[in-house]
Amino acid sequence: MITLGIESTAHTLSIGIEENGKILSNVIDMYNGGNEGLIPRKLADHHAAVFASVLSKSLEIAGTTIKDVDLIAFSQGPGIGSPLSVGVSGAKFLALIHDKKIIGVNHPYAHVKISEHCCNMEQPLVLYLSGGNSQLLIEENGYYDVLGETLDIGIGNLFDNFARSLKLEHAHGAALAKLAEGGEYVELPYTVKGMNLVFSGLLTSAEKHISKHSKKDLAFSLMETSFAMTCEVTERALFLTKKKNLLVCGGVAQNRRLQEMLKIMCKEDDVIFGVAPDEYNRDNGAMIAYAGSLLYKKYGAMPIENCIPITNYRIDRMKEILD
């Protein structure tokens, strides 16, 4: 079975194609707004403008045509309403005009499943870190429960917001990580509540220190503190669940310093650490295609009237949405 996956939850429009677990193509086009942040209308305009070219390129790389595709999968949420709607509309159009089966995919679920596939892991403790999410997940009976999460903003949003406060040309976590290299530590608030995280106080304090310390030192300190907080709640979850496999996924999972800290923790606790290649941790269509094929095998196709954006689609709502 050939599945085409469409990702459009935030700044990225991506279309990937998968056949029986093998990724055939994964074309990614990311909107670059510089320091202005994610403006929903501009994200939607970008996705609509590049949709046709991204689709054509993905089909070409995969060596297939839309006629050969059996299933259209799309990110159903969570996400920013305007860009999310572009992907949903595109998926419905393709499914209706070409008479294809269609299914909506929970975005975090796709991150988890493609990472499990790449790392050959089954039912690990999952640390999911992205722009809008910071969650500890565990699979029970085919569904995911949230053991702990951010109580305010996601760790990716923490980095992006602080990058904008520093007026970096590219207000993104990757630019902040580059700036942080070689920095010196400045004490900042450290807030952990059980297995939950709070990042807004850390952001506010770092912003107040901008006139007192170098940008490099503050970037380093913000990232070190937030990663240490994340490692603490993750280790607590490992002890609670007695899991011996840890999988980190999502956009922030690409950060090499975070990976280093988690690897050290896992080595000390005799836990196997897993992280997928960067291509599959950033937002991408291949993960939607792969996860869509898994969901189709379990639930079948989705009625077209159920194919609507769900901006607040938590991973622990999947049973409610799909059953």
Q: Given this model, what pLDDT does residue 38 score?
A: 83
Q: Is the pLDDT of residue 247 over 90?
A: yes
Q: Read off the pLDDT of residues 77-135 as tens digits, 9 standing for 90 and up.
A: 999 999 999 999 999 999 999 999 999 999 999 999 999 999 999 999 999 999 889 99
- 110 within 8 A of 284, measured Cβ to Cβ: no
Q: What's the rounded mean pLDDT across residues 136-143?
A: 94
Q: How confident is the model at residue 33 (pLDDT cuts 50, 70, 90)?
A: confident
Q: Read off the pLDDT of residues 270-311 as tens digits, 9 standing for 90 and up.
A: 999 999 999 999 999 999 999 999 999 999 999 999 999 999
Q: Give me the count of residues in the chain.
A: 323
Short-list 237, 173, 159, CA closest to 202: 159
Q: Read off the pLDDT of residues 171-189 as tens digits, 9 standing for 90 and up.
A: 788 999 999 999 999 999 9
Q: Given this model, what pLDDT does residue 36 score?
A: 77
Cα separations in angstroms, 183 against 177, 206, 300, 310: 10, 14, 51, 40
Model's pTM, two decimal places? 0.95
What domains can be seen in the chain, in order of their start residue? 2-110+281-322 (3.30.420.40), 123-279 (3.30.420.40)
Q: Is the pLDDT of residue 34 over 80?
A: no
Q: Is the pLDDT of residue 250 over 90?
A: yes
